[in-house]
Amino acid sequence: MKSLNKEEKSWAFYDWGNSAYSMIITSTILPIYFKLAAQEGGVPLTDSTAYWGYAVSISTLIVSILAPILGAIADYKGYKKNFFKLFFTLGVISTLCLAMVPSDKPLILLIMYAFTVVGFSGANIFYDSFLVDVTDESRMDKVSASGFALGYVGSTIPFVISIIIVLLSQKEVIPFSLSLSCKITFLITALWWGIFTLPLLKNVNQKYYIEKEPKIVVNSFKRIIETFKNIKSHKNIFIFLIAYFFYIDGVDTIINMATSYGTDLGISMTSLLIILLLTQFVAVPFTLIYGKLAKKVGTKKMLFVGIITYTTICIYAYFIKTALDFWILAMAVGSAQGGIQAISRSYFAKLVPKSKSNEFFGFYNIFGKFAAIMGPALVGIVTQVTGETNKGLISLVILFLIGGVILSQVECNTEHSKDSDMVAINNKLEKC
């Protein structure tokens, strides 16, 4: 982190703040709490796993529809940060509201969770696109990986506090019910997310933009249409997005469904929390390693490493039966999840024209979010039909294979628009 400048650090610290949401709300305590709320509300175990998948799908559909439109509007001067503030505020407030939902109302809990997903995912569109504003192309892999690594470190602090509160309530050391202790962790998450977003709000600003003009909304739609009309001039970008659509589907599905899967295997809440905490610690060095190796051997090659790792994980998940198997699976996920996400973000940032970064990151997020609709829904349907979650997970292998094949078609140079804001580079010498 010492090698990062003020803007890069401020940007990266948003990962430190919002990763608490990813860890506590997306991956661990809220899914476990939802299982308890579903049981209290009379919902069968496998049905609750399916409903969780459906909630993720619906909420990400909303973000996917909004992403390219808002992204195109945000490319105009002064809009990017305002849109970021809007979705960030929605995410934090709705996370606070999770603590207000009665423990026997799983449906209301899912609806409020959907609002948190919209806020979290929407803010990430503009956060990701700020990468082009805070650093140059030669540092993008490093800065992006540093953000994810900070996120893993930062998320462990509120997560450890949350684990202690939950475990102490279970042991009746503190006079809190399990339900109340979970709700306290939601409050902690919202506060952590909000506080560590302040450096970005203060120090990061939009440097690349399109000057304001009349009829901004109408012209934004025209720009989106024009982008599709000129798809041949952005060939590498759209081939990458299609590849990303498939492989990130598998990544996000495994992250979103891991806790539900562990619960279905009969692993206790305590064991799940400890396993997922250690996964965070494993992810930190591996994410930084991915960033360093991307610079040495090429970002594209490291993406293939991540895809191969996840394919192996899905195959192994089909056969696991014991808690030890789940431990091994979790550590394997930790070795790849941060790395593949970090270098996907930086690889795409190198491809896009800077003055249209929001528009293109809108597409980046819509491809990622539509993928997140398909994967959880697929796992949910297969789980509900067969009664076995592992059969849903093995189906994800095909997504990684398709993603890898399409990624191989991206030409080994960094493509840029001929926009006036782009500086010419030697594409043939660029390691991708």
Give pLDDT tens digits for 366-383.
777 666 667 777 777 776
Is the pTM here over 0.75, yes or no? no
Q: Per mean pLDDT, which range of 8-22, 101-115, 368-382 is the poorest?
A: 368-382
Q: What is the pLDDT of residue 254?
A: 80
Inside any domain, residue 210? no
CATH of the domain at 343: 1.20.1250.20
Task: Tell me which residue range forms the domain holding 310.
Answer: 6-203+218-429
Per-residue DSSP letter, 21: I
Inside any domain, residue 211? no
* 393-422 exposure pattern, b = at least 16 Cβ within 10 A, e = fewer: bbbbbebbebbbebbeebeebbbbbeeeee
- Sign of the Cα torsion 209, 213, 217, 223 reads negative
Residue 16 tokens, joined: 């430190």
Inside any domain, residue 213? no
Burial class (CB in 10 A: 0-12, 13-18, 19+), 423: exposed
CB proximity list for 171: less than 8 A, separation 6 or greater: none
pLDDT average, residue stretch 380-391: 71
Per-position DSSP letters for 170-208, written without gaps between them:
HTTSSS--HHHHHHHHHHHHHHHHHHTTHHHHHH----S
Inside any domain, residue 425? yes
Question: Is residue 417 within 8 Å of residue 353, measured between CB atoms?
Answer: yes
Question: Is residue 260 within 8 Å of residue 389, measured between CB atoms?
Answer: yes
pLDDT average, residue stretch 28-46: 78
Provide the number of structural domains found in the chain: 1
pLDDT average, residue stretch 309-316: 90
Residue 146 tokens, joined: 């540093």
Residue 9: pLDDT band by 50, 70, 90 thresholds?
very high
Tens digits of per-residue pLDDT, 236-262? 888 999 999 889 888 877 876 676 677
Inside any domain, residue 1? no
Q: What is the pLDDT of residue 184?
A: 94
Does 416 or 366 have the greater pLDDT score? 366
Question: Is residue 354 within 8 Å of residue 328, measured between CB atoms?
Answer: no
Does 189 or 146 have the greater pLDDT score? 189
Inside any domain, residue 396? yes
SS3 of 388, please?
coil
Question: Is residue 250 within 8 Å of residue 399, measured between CB atoms?
Answer: yes
pLDDT average, residue stretch 351-355: 80
* Helices marked H in 41-177: 45-74, 80-98, 106-129, 131-134, 140-170
Rounded CA separation 379/417 (Å): 38
Q: Per mean pLDDT, which range of 61-65, 100-104, 381-385 is the poorest?
A: 381-385
Question: Is residue 73 within 8 Å of residue 362, measured between CB atoms?
Answer: no
Per-position DSSP letters for 113-124, written without gaps between them:
HHHHHHHHHHHH
Q: What is the pLDDT of residue 371?
A: 61
Inside any domain, residue 326? yes
Inside any domain, residue 209? no
Q: Per this entry, what is the length of the chain? A: 432
